[in-house]
């Protein structure tokens, strides 16, 4: 990706408890994005959430939730993100989990290390 260029932000909302092939789904998505040559991925763990079900999830001890929200963010060119979407859809289908995927245009303002 080039400095001061347009790119796409792919944001995937799933749950910490989502698994596929004995691995955490978020780990599989990050590994597959790396294998696909995408620029980078970040996994963010949420403190509290609710979704379409209306079920509130939080990290409070009394709730004992092991199913906290996880957001995976991937930024790259529109072409690379579009190429990755079918694989992502396949992973979500195989995991049989709920989730939300968003895609938006972003502007890259990146400084390489050492500058």
29 by Cβ neighbours in 10 Å (0-12 / 13-18 / 19+) ranks as buried
Q: Please tell me the distance from the alpha carbon of residue 13 to that of residue 7, in angstroms, as a whole number.
A: 20
**Hey, what domains does the chain have and what are their CATH numbers?**
6-100 (3.30.70.120)
List pLDDT tens digits, range 10-49. 999 999 999 999 999 999 999 999 999 999 999 999 888 8
Q: Please tell me the distance from the alpha carbon of residue 58 to that of residue 50, in angstroms, as a whole number.
A: 9
For residue 42, what are the β-bridge partners? 73
pTM exceeds 0.75: yes
List pLDDT tens digits, range 86-114. 999 999 999 998 889 999 999 998 766 76
């Amino acid at each position: 990706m080039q400095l001061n260029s347009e790119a796409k932000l792919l944001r995937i909302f799933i749950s910490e408890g989502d698994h596929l092939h004995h691995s955490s789904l978020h780990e599989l998505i990050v590994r597959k994005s790396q294998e696909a040559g995408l620029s980078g991925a970040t996994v963010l763990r949420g403190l509290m959430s609710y979704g379409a079900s209306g079920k509130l999830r939080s990290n409070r001890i009394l709730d004992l939730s092991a199913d906290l929200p996880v957001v995976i963010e991937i930024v790259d060119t529109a072409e690379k993100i579009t190429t990755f979407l079918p694989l992502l859809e396949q992973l979500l289908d195989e995991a049989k989990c709920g989730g939300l995927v968003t895609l938006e245009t972003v502007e890259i303002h990146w400084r390489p290390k050492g500058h």
